Amino acid sequence: MHQPPAVAWDLAPTRSQRRAPIALLLLAVLVWLVFITRQGWGPASLALLLALLVATVVVAVGLNKLPTGQLRWDGEQWLWSGVQDRMVRSMACVLDLQSVLVLHIRCDQGKGHWLWLEAGDKPLHWKALRRAMVASRPGTHGAESAEPQEG
């Protein structure tokens, strides 16, 4: 079996991730308004509003701390390049919704990273990335596992 050709995917906040804090803030205001009209103003409504605003801030701050760089398949192994190239020791697809992937990767430093990838407006590039992921899985022909198999 032939390995898929080299492919690279830029890791940057996606459109839906950039919209998340705004959507959460709008949802917070809507929930708070419904709560106010049903319960009236009081400590509970203030606590609810504060909790929703804190959640919005947490999402916005988390968005700024998302991993950046480039996830690359060179035909034999995965690399994560940012400040410097790091070999990806293991990669697990945690969620596959066809146009969205949630990956958990471990690099040569051993620290785990969560990556959210979306097809967006690059369908051909997306298909190449998915082919490389399938071909690089342990147990597929021609792909070697980066971690020893237990058994």
pLDDT, residue 136, reads: 80
Q: Which domain holds residue 77?
A: 7-12+69-136
pLDDT tens digits, one per residue of 21-53: 888 888 888 877 887 788 777 787 778 778 888
pLDDT, residue 2, reads: 66
pLDDT, residue 139, reads: 57
Low-confidence ranges of the chain (pLDDT < 50): 141-151
Between CA 76 and CA 132 the distance in angstroms is 9
Question: Quick check: is 151 in a domain?
Answer: no
The single-letter code of the amino acid at 3 is: Q
pLDDT, residue 146, reads: 44
Q: How many domains does the chain have?
A: 2
Same-domain check for residues 20 and 73: no
Same-domain check for residues 21 and 51: yes
pTM comes to 0.65
